[in-house]
Amino acid sequence: MSDTNLSTDSIASTERQLLPLTRASRFVRLGGIGVVLLSVAAAFLYLGGWFNPEALTPPRFADGFERVDGIHSGFRLNHAKGVCVSGSFESNGRGTRLSKAVVFKAGRAPIIGRFSLAGGNPYVADAPGMVRGLGLLFHLPDGEEWRTAMINTPVFAVNSPQGFYDRLLATQPDPETGKPDPKKMAVFLANHPETVQATKIIQSHPASSGFENSTYYGLNSFWFMDASGRSIPVRWSLAPVQPFAPANTTGHARPDNNRLFDVLIAGILQRPLLWHLIITIGQASDPINDATIPWPDAREQMDVGTLTLDHVESEETNRCRDINFDPLVLPEGMTPSDDPLLSARSAVYSQSFTRRAGENKLPSAVTPSEVRK
Amino acid sequence: MSTSLATEQRQFTALMRVFHWLTAALVLTILGIGVAMLASLAGYHRLVSIHRPLGILILIVVVIRFVNRHYSSLPPFPASMSPRERSIASAFELLLYALLVVQPLVGWGMLSAAGYPVTLYGSLHLFPILPHNVMLYAVLRMAHTVLAYLLFFTFLAHFGAVLFHTCVVRDGTFSRMAPWTSR
Is residue A311 flagged as an active site residue?
no
pLDDT in tens, A165-200: 999 999 998 888 888 999 999 999 999 999 999 999
Q: State whether residue A227 sits within 8 Å of chain B by CB.
A: no
> Where does the pLDDT of residue B51 fall: very low under 50, low under 70, confident under 90, or very high at 90 and above?
very high
Residue B182, domain member (yes or no):
no
A275-306, pLDDT tens digit by residue? 999 999 999 999 999 999 999 999 999 999 99
Check B172 against A7: CB less than 8 A apart: no
Write out pLDDT tens, residues A27-38.
Answer: 999 999 999 999
Catalytic site residue from A72, A79, A192, A276: A79
The better pLDDT of the pair A320, B10 is held by A320
Distances (CA, A) of A82 to A1, A119, A244, A316: 81, 11, 22, 10
For residue A273, pLDDT beyond 80? yes
* Structural domain containing residue B147: 2-177
Q: Do B160 and A33 touch (CB under 8 A)?
A: yes
How far is residue A99's CA from residue A105's CA, in Å, rounded to a whole number?
Answer: 9
State the Cα–Cα distance between residues A32 and A29, nearest whole angstrom: 5
pLDDT at B19: 97
Q: Do A322 and B134 touch (CB under 8 A)?
A: yes
Question: Which of left, alpha, beta for B175 (phi over 0: left; psi -120 to 50: alpha)?
Answer: alpha
Residue in B8, B31, B46 closest to A44 by CB: B31
pLDDT of residue A19: 83
Report A:36-65 residues touching B (Cβ under 8 A). 36-37, 40-41, 43-44, 47-49, 55-59, 61
Residue B183 lies in a domain: no
Greater confidence (A9 vs A56) lies with A56
Answer whether residue B140 is part of any domain. yes
Q: For B39-51, what is the mean pLDDT?
A: 97
Q: Which of A7-21, B30-44, B79-93 has the lowest mean pLDDT?
A: A7-21
Position A254 confidence tier, pLDDT thresholds 50, 70, 90: low
Inside any domain, residue B84? yes
Q: Do A268 and A231 form a contact (C-beta atoms < 8 A)? A: no
pLDDT tens digit sequence for A123-153:
999 998 999 999 999 999 999 999 999 999 9
The CA distance from A341 to the nearest CA of chain B, in Å, is 8
CATH architecture of the domain with residue range A73-372: Beta Barrel (2.40)
Q: Where are the beta strands (DSSP E) in A259-333?
A: 273-281, 301-313
DSSP string, A284-305: TTS-SS-TTSPPPTTS-EEEEE
Q: What percent of chain A has pLDDT over 90?
A: 87
The shortest CB-CB distance from B35 to any of A48, A58, A347 is to A48
Amino acid identity, position A329:
V
Res A252: pLDDT: 56
**Domain limits, chain A:** 3-47, 73-372
The closest alpha carbon to A80, from A125, A129, A117, belongs to A117
Q: How many domains does chain B have?
A: 1
Stretch B6-14: mean pLDDT, rounded? 81
Domain CATH code at residue B12? 1.20.950
Residue B7's pLDDT is 57
ipTM of the complex: 0.92
A198-240 pLDDT, tens digit per residue, is: 999 999 998 999 999 999 999 999 999 999 999 999 999 999 9
User: Which pLDDT belongs to residue B50?
Assistant: 98
Q: Report, as an integer, the average pLDDT of A50-75.
A: 95
Does residue B146 have a pLDDT over 60? Answer: yes
The reply to whether residue A144 touches residue B46, judged by beta carbons under 8 angstroms, is no
pLDDT digits (tens, 9 = 90+) for A110-120: 999 999 999 99
Q: How far is A207 from chain B (nearest CA, A)?
A: 31
